[in-house]
Amino acid sequence: MKSDLAYRIEVARGLKKADLVLRGGSILNVFSGEVYRADVAIAGGRIAGLGEYRGKKSIDVSSRLILPGLIDSHVHLESSMLMPAEFARAALPHGVTTVVADPHEIANVLGKKGIELMLDATEGLPLDFFFMLPSCVPSSPFETSGAGLTALDLAPFLKHRRVLGLAEMMDYPGVLSGRRDVLRKLEAVAGRPIDGHAPALGGKDLNAYAGTGISSEHECASAAEASEKVRAGMTIFIREGSAARNLTAILPAVTPANSRFFCFATDDLQPVDLRAGSIDRLVKKAIRLGLDAVSAVQMATINPARHFGLSGTGAIAPGYRADMIVIDDLKNFTIEKVFKNGVLAASKGRMTAPLRAHPSRFGRNTVKTGQVGLKDLRLSRRTGRARVIELIPDEIETRQRIMPVIVDSSGQVANERDRGIAKLVVVERHRASGRIGLGLVKGFGFRSGAIGATVAHDAHNIIVAGMHDEDILAAIQALRRMRGGLVVVKEERILAALPLPIAGLLSDKPVRIVAKQQAGLARAAARLGIKLSSPFATLSFLALPVVPELKLTDRGLVDVQNGKVVELFV
């Protein structure tokens, strides 16, 4: 019996019939930049040849355009709140056939077991899941996570065939200061891809950071920052997620000379947004904003494949994996068919490939808090100026504002609704330490009530924002009863909830149910006066102490730029 390679050679030469031929369409060649008419012959899950071919089966794609399957360069599966099989159900119809994931969210809760869960749950699915190992668990010493991972903990995973390198190195102060535990992780993956995470870093500090082998960045907020990092040899992942959207700001940095050093990423995409679009949405938006269509497709296919060393992926060419999408044209970019390894995986927005469910074996009892009462939420009675976290629309960065604040005799912030100031609370939930951080946040638009979650990057403690302590306490109690999730509370009554029983991060329900629950949360949040498009995504980043300027963790307010915990009142 002939090998797959021998059979593919015979098909390529026209001596044997292909398993499948896509007939009558045009292909976009990401190497030459050309669009031309050609049949695509598939044998053994790979592309055997382009031209005129005979097949055992054929599909007519006349007047259609055939592109390589799309690649998401950086994504946290946990942010979808879906188990990987359900993530695939949502992403594949949007043409995504490969993702490069960073499991640091679940690793911050479950440690090595979290990585094992993700590797196991992504095995055998009709979408390729590759992983970068979490570099910062926890992300900083200013928060309490459920686990810590050292270079020795990560080393065994480097042998796994779907582990590519080291994920976003958020602890750039640790890199710049040469902290030994950080350098050990960088040295352990030398020669492999290492993702960056260093917002606003430039000049000589950028030279030092990039010089360690860190080769990508997805936190650029401006074209100038992206250009400087490209000059330092870094590949830029242009991000459009649920909370942070940087495409419009960064796109002017992309030129014909440097476009090969740009890719697309969703980073953190919640279920409702994922069902509406993934990398296809970024490609379409980039073209609409004036980017050359061929460059946009290259940034979603061959560029990330080359960056991560995914040989045989990202192009329609002989020997490459038959991961392809069929679209109407480059202007509308409507995906009609998706092929994975030469098999029709999705058609007209629906999955056609079978999915194997992977039930979670662990991680269902991770919300452990001490007793929390109203007295624990009170601010010390003091009237004066306070540090307030101010939201920036469509960014995960925040501003630090010094504002006059009035605290009433019961320890609550008084008369601040008109100025848009709400209380922010973070409760440690991994070790029942009883540690609680209290702060103030401006920009949600609360008129009443509270919203809360166990999704709070990166340590994923309980985080709640609201106007009254009674509602905040009711949200904390609800999250503890649900064993994790998202909740909206008004007048101590739950208006909407989305349980996330797996590590307090993931649902065990189908995507359609999770998306419906998320939509219910959005409607309930609007009843509180919140006008943000993704309030829970915004809330989840207010505890991330590695993104400027001011954040809140269970250990208190963190001045990110100066790397220290600061007092609420000045």
Contact 151, 185 (CB under 8 A): yes
Give the sheet arrangement for strand 35-37, strand by strand: 35-37, 26-28, 65-68, 324-327, 335-340, 343-347, 350-351
C-alpha dihedral over 148, 152, 157, 158, to 10 degrees?
Answer: 130
**Within 10 Å of residue 208's Cβ, how many Cβ atoms?**
16
2 falls in which pLDDT band (50, 70, 90)? low
Instruction: With H, G, I as helix, E, B as strand and everything else as coil, classify residue 32.
Output: coil
Residue 363 covered by a domain = no
Write out pLDDT tens, residues 317-368: 999 999 999 999 999 999 999 999 999 999 999 999 888 776 666 788 999 9
Q: Which of 320, 344, 361 is the last residue of a domain?
A: 320
Write out pLDDT tens, residues 142-157: 999 999 999 999 999 9
Helix (H) or strand (E) holding 167: strand 163-169
What is the residue type of 361?
R
Write out pLDDT tens, residues 202-252: 999 999 999 999 999 999 999 999 999 999 999 999 999 987 889 999 999
Enter the tokens of residue 228. Answer: 């400087």
Q: Which of 320, 343, 364 is the last residue of a domain?
A: 320
Backbone φ, ψ for residue 26 (5° rounding): -115, 150
Give the sheet arrangement for strand 70-75, strand by strand: 70-75, 96-101, 128-133, 163-169, 194-196, 216-217, 235-239, 262-265
411 falls in which pLDDT band (50, 70, 90)? confident
Exposure letters 420-441 (e unless 16+ CB within 10 A, then b): bbbbbbbbbbbeeeebbbbbbb
Residue 350 covered by a domain = no
Residue 142 covered by a domain = yes
Instruction: With H, G, I as helix, E, B as strand and everything else as coil, classify residue 409.
Output: coil
For residue 548, pLDDT beyond 60: yes
| Whole-angstrom distance, CA of residue 129 vs CA of residue 100 | 6
pLDDT computed for residue 231 by the predictor: 98
Contact 454, 467 (CB under 8 A): no
* Predicted TM-score of the model (pTM): 0.92
For residue 1, pLDDT beyond 60: no
Q: Is 294 found in the same domain as 382?
A: no
| Whole-angstrom distance, CA of residue 464 vs CA of residue 487 | 9
Task: Calculate the average pLDDT of the chain.
Answer: 94
Contact 425, 379 (CB under 8 A): no
Identify the CATH number of the domain in which residue 17 sits: 2.30.40.10
Q: Which residue reads 């103030």 in tokens? A: 440
pLDDT computed for residue 359 by the predictor: 67
Contact 539, 451 (CB under 8 A): yes
DSSP string, 147-160: ----HHHHGGGGGS
Q: Is 407 found in the same domain as 296?
A: no
Residue 329 covered by a domain = no
Instruction: With H, G, I as helix, E, B as strand and everything else as coil, classify residue 131.
Output: strand
Write out pLDDT tens, residues 523-543: 999 999 998 988 999 999 999
Residue 532 covered by a domain = yes
* CA-based nearest residue to 141, from 98, 179, 93: 179
Establish whether the linkage from the previous residue to 19 is cis, with ω within 30° of 0. no
pLDDT computed for residue 415 by the predictor: 59
Write out pLDDT tens, residues 93-121: 999 999 999 999 999 999 999 999 999 99
Q: Is 77 found in the same domain as 45?
A: no
Contact 467, 550 (CB under 8 A): no
Q: State which residues form the domain around 188.
A: 71-320
* CA-based nearest residue to 257, from 221, 220, 290, 230: 230
Q: Is 75 found in the same domain as 31?
A: no
pLDDT computed for residue 440 by the predictor: 96
Q: Is 302 found in the same domain as 381?
A: no
Q: Is 197 found in the same domain as 143?
A: yes
Q: Is 116 found in the same domain as 244?
A: yes
pLDDT computed for residue 481 by the predictor: 96
Q: Is 535 found in the same domain as 432?
A: yes
Q: Is 173 found in the same domain as 138?
A: yes
Task: Say which range, 20-29, 269-278, 405-414, 448-457, has the weakest mean pLDDT.
Answer: 405-414
The DSSP call for residue 380 is P
Q: Is 384 found in the same domain as 300?
A: no
Backbone φ, ψ for residue 116 (5° rounding): -60, -40
Residue 337 covered by a domain = no
| Whole-angstrom distance, CA of residue 505 vs CA of residue 499 | 9
As a 3-state breakdown, the chain gives helix, strand, coil percent values, each rounded to 5, of 30, 30, 45
| Whole-angstrom distance, CA of residue 510 vs CA of residue 90 | 10
Contact 529, 522 (CB under 8 A): no
* CA-based nearest residue to 558, from 371, 372, 421, 398: 398
Residue 416 covered by a domain = yes
CA distances from 11 to 48, 135, 555 (A): 6, 45, 64
Q: Is 83 found in the same domain as 42?
A: no
| Whole-angstrom distance, CA of residue 403 vs CA of residue 210 | 38
The fraction of the chain above a pLDDT of 90, given in percent, is 87
For residue 47, pLDDT beyond 80: yes
Residue 167 covered by a domain = yes
- Burial label, 57 (beta-carbon count in 10 A; 0-12, 13-18, 19+): exposed
pLDDT computed for residue 551 by the predictor: 97
Identify the CATH number of the domain in which residue 103 sits: 3.20.20.140
Q: Is 521 found in the same domain as 446?
A: yes
What is the residue type of 437?
G
The DSSP call for residue 419 is G
Average pLDDT over residues 64-87: 97
Contact 232, 258 (CB under 8 A): no
State CA 492 to chain mean position distance: 32
Domains in the chain, number: 3
Write out pLDDT tens, residues 82-92: 999 999 999 99
Contact 479, 471 (CB under 8 A): no
Q: Which of 320, 338, 356 is the last residue of a domain?
A: 320
Enter the tokens of residue 172. Answer: 């750039």
